[in-house]
Structure 1
Amino acid sequence: MLEQLEQRINEVGALQTKLVLLTGRPGSGKSALIGVLAKYHGIRVMNVGAALGRQLAAMSQRQRALQANVVLRDLADEHAKGDLLLLDNLELLFDRSLKLDPLDLLKRHAHGRRVVAVWPGELREGRLVYAEMGHPEYQDYGLDGLVPVEIKSLG
């Protein structure tokens, strides 16, 4: 699986949006795979929820919504190695109070560097889904311009 992922990462280097999304059901091994990838490249995986949450915790709710984008960009710059950034635990990006479009945000980060991110939802019927319909954080995206790598199970 690591070889297939490496191939995809190399292929996206020529695309406008250099975003590779690891998709799969909970427990399929997405986080484990990005951990192996990080070790292979000698880079740390950015735990978005922990890193961004720490920075936003000291801000008012209004400041969080205004600054989340900037703070995430700065954190991404710190965690990237060369033109590669690895992201996991993205759930905080879906928090409605931050007023972010998580997938658009990931795509923007992937214009200047290759980004591999663990998608916290699922790939269903050719669409990326986060949460269930009716849930306040529900999101449903098409795959246009995306490179999903579906993990069936590493175990």
Structure 2
Amino acid sequence: MSQTEEFVKVVEAAKEAKGVIFVTGKPGSGKSKVLREAAEDKKWDYVDCRLLISEEFLAVPKEERNAKAPEMMGEALASYNSDVILLDRLQTLFVPVFNLDVAALLKELGQKFVLVAAWPGYVKDGMLCYDKFDGTESIRIPQDGFTIWNVD
């Protein structure tokens, strides 16, 4: 069984409960490739997270963005037609000026959609970890409440 076939089985099993599945793996391990192949095979929507940051969202005052993001980004995701939405470039949402609690945002959106996100970091001690190469940013999100699937 190929990695993409294995991945599709994990996503299909999670569809009833909705929620968020994080695809983890080292840089260059094929996370995005698996998402794109599954999107093509299953006709799921593959979405670059940069598309979730609209001019309308940027017009919201910074201190209000975290509260408004679930509704605004939920509307954007609702415009897609598949039962699974594959998110890539998740690190876009970590930009400090957006003022987002990414874990809370994804958990809320995961109540309405089956979301699969390529995690741009690693898992350690029960935490999803993302470290920018220049050391300016370190994100830690508890993996509780999320499904994790690792690309080998």
In the other structure, the counterpart of 1:6 is: 8
Q: Give secondary structure in 1 for the equivalent of 2:53.
A: helix
Identity of matched residues, %: 24
Query: Which amino acid in the other structure matches residue 15 of structure 2?
Result: G
Q: Give secondary structure in 1 for the equivalent of 2:45.
A: coil
In the other structure, the counterpart of 1:122 is: 122
Query: Which amino acid in the other structure matches residue 46 of structure 2?
Result: V
Aligned-pair CA distance for 1:39: 0.2
**Alignment length (residue pairs):** 148
Instruction: State the Cα deviation string for residues 21-44 of structure 1 (Å, max 9, x = none).
Output: 100111111001100010012233
In the other structure, the counterpart of 1:100 is: 100
| Superposed counterparts of 1:130-145, under 5 Å | 130-131=130-131, 135=135, 137-145=137-145
RMSD: 2.6
Structure 1: segments with no counterpart, 5+ residues: none
Aligned-pair CA distance for 1:57: 7.7
For 2:84 and 2:14, how far apart are their aligned partners in 1? 11
Residue 41 (structure 2) pairs with residue 40 (structure 1): yes
Higher strand content, 1 or 2: 2
Contact 1:126 1:143 in 2 (8 A): yes
Contact 1:96 1:136 in 2 (8 A): no
Contact 2:69 2:105 in 1 (8 A): no
For 1:14 and 1:59, how far apart are their aligned partners in 2? 36
1:71 to 1:126, Cα distance in 2 relative to 1, 3 A:
same
Contact 1:18 1:110 in 2 (8 A): yes
Contact 1:96 1:137 in 2 (8 A): no
In the other structure, the counterpart of 1:21 is: 22
Instruction: State the Cα deviation string for residues 25-81 of structure 1 (Å, max 9, x = none).
Output: 1111100110001001223311012x1334358626538836444331121111351
Query: Which amino acid in the other structure matches residue 43 of structure 2?
Result: G
TM-score (ref. length: structure 1): 0.80
1:19 to 1:68, Cα distance in 2 relative to 1, 3 A:
closer
1:24 to 1:77, Cα distance in 2 relative to 1, 3 A:
same
1:53 to 1:147, Cα distance in 2 relative to 1, 3 A:
same
Contact 2:39 2:46 in 1 (8 A): yes
1:13 to 1:44, Cα distance in 2 relative to 1, 3 A:
closer
Instruction: State the Cα deviation string for residues 90-147 of structure 1 (Å, max 9, x = none).
Output: 1121122222111221121111221111112222344210126x95542212221221
Structure 2: segments with no counterpart, 5+ residues: none
